[in-house]
Amino acid sequence: MTRPDMTIEALKRILREGAGADEGVDLDADILDVEFAELGYDSLAMLETASRIEREYGIKLEDETTAAARTPRALLAVVNSR
Amino acid sequence: MNRVVFTGIGVTAPNGLGVEDFWAATLAGRSGIGPVRRFDATRYPARLAGEVPGFEAGEHLPSRLLSQTDHMTRLALVAADWALADAGVNPAELPEYGMGVITASSSGGFEFGQRELQNLWSKGGSHVSAYQSFAWFYAVNTGQISIRNGMRGPSGVLVTDQAGGLDAVANARRQIRKGIDLVVSGGVDGSICPWGWVAHMSTGRLSAVDDPDRAYLPFDADATGHVAGEGGAILVMEDEDAARRRGVERSYGELAGYAATMDPRPGGGEPGLRRAAELAIADAGLTPGDVDVVFADAAGVPELDRVEAEAITAVFGPRGVPVTAPKTMTGRLFSGAAPLDVAVALLSIRDGVIPPTINVNPAPGYGIDLVTGAPRHTRPRTALVLARGSGGFNAAVVVRATFPEGGPA
């Protein structure tokens, strides 16, 4: 069984649900290559985000893998390679 | 030694959101006590609470903070924003290591914590929010205020139940005397959720009365315990010279004296409240005759009311000083209560008026001059604030006008 790829829109939704959006950050803009840190997401926010992705997509993401994916594009690539 | 002054006040209270709302309600004797709305308390023995009305966190805070904060932390963050605005402080313009945050806490973010524990046992560990790591925690308000405002100076949290709010402002004074220019202090508390409620019930001091006007009656012959509430006050405290250097012309008043004592073991002799009051007055370099008003701890439990009345009459003589308990309008706010009383004391000094204790018909045996019915316009300049915490904690502070005699108000 194949599952659909995770889209940037799905990632934005998960970010909003788990960690919210910071003041002055427009998640609706093109953020594919903007670093998570620049979007106001610290390591804990990424931990929460990864945990929600795991639950939703039924995959396992190692902490180091998530930490190494510094942009939405990189994180989507990791998720969609599973 | 420089004076340590209060330059900003932020209030989130059951009878008012924001200082002026709250102060108007307090002078008018308007209560914020009513049936619990934050959860269904109908099957619990205590069904009333003092809940902060009309607070929409999303109107004040970014969703980035909403996802990681308990209700009481949101109240604290907004109170801190308001206190800093009131003080005219833009934290970004001041040295980050010159500003500290020292608040009081009694329980932490219990509503958040209960939700995540329920996730843990009903769905499993992967469903627990990463933010549970700190959102429940005693120090969370201090940490969040510090992060939001870029304040990296000495910071901490005082956990001595309801006495904690006074211990916190005293600790802030200590840091300022050691050279920190500004400390955000005070406390905002609240755990009106089933988990918090059960913890409150364990003290045996929650009133089971359902009439909001009859449930919390400190110093009344009909006292049956207290109503629990949420909220409190965040206070900006500064070195007086440092405040002047950034252009502050007038402060609310000075933290002139402080003392804390512990009760002896049960049956082990006189409780420590009288000594705390005397030591705080002495620490201010004053005598009891200088004190114009006492803000009582007001337990609402007959035995504890008697202890407090005896302490007050021992220090001031029978009916020797006006005593008031505006917390009859809010319920007891735990670590938020005493900072709110300090805020009320400062506003009383500002406006020359003592707010009333509501609903109480003072039992004659206590021998205290309780201000009931209407505010008393006596132009107080010096106030003693008393607070007691479950477990034997006593604390007292003296706050004083900084304007000259015959000045404003």
Residue that finishes a domain, picked among B191, B225, B245: B245
User: Is the ipTM above a cut-off of 0.90?
Assistant: yes
Residue B173 in this model has a pLDDT that exceeds 60: yes
Residue A2 in this model has a pLDDT that exceeds 90: no
pLDDT at position B298 is 98
A59 touching chain B per CB within 8 A: no
Q: Among all residues of chain A, which has the CA nearest to that of B69?
A: A19
CA distance to partner chain A, nearest, from residue B126 (Å): 7
The residue among B61, B66, B67 with the most chain A CBs within 10 A of its CB, best to mutate, is B67
Residue B348 near residue B380, CB atoms below 8 Å: yes
Identify the CATH number of the domain in which residue B359 sits. Answer: 3.40.47.10
For residue B228, give its domain range: 4-245
How do residues B21-60 score in pLDDT, each as one tens digit?
999 999 999 999 999 999 999 999 999 999 999 999 999 9
Q: Which residues of A touch B133 (CB under 8 A)?
A: 44
How do residues B284-320 score in pLDDT, each as one tens digit?
999 999 999 999 999 999 999 999 999 999 999 999 9
pLDDT band (50, 70, 90) for residue B266: confident
Please provide residue B49's backbone torsions phi and psi, each rounded to the nearest 5 degrees: -155, 160
B10 and B107: one domain? yes
Q: Name the domain count of chain B.
A: 2
Residue A81 in this model has a pLDDT that exceeds 60: yes
CA distances in angstroms from A28 to A15, A45, B64, listed in the order given: 12, 18, 15
pLDDT band (50, 70, 90) for residue B404: confident
How do residues B331-343 score in pLDDT, each as one tens digit?
999 999 999 999 9
B233 and B273: one domain? no
Q: What is the dihedral of CA B163, B8, B61, A48, to 10 degrees?
A: -50
DSSP symbol at B365: G
A71 touching chain B per CB within 8 A: no
- What fold, for A8-80? 1.10.1200
Give the mean pLDDT of B114-125: 96
Q: How many C-beta atoms lie closer than 10 Å to residue B122's C-beta?
A: 8
Residue that finishes a domain, picked among B245, B278, B294: B245
B233 and B100: one domain? yes
- Is residue B33 assigned to a domain? yes
Which of B107, B327, B312 is closest to B215 using CA atoms?
B327
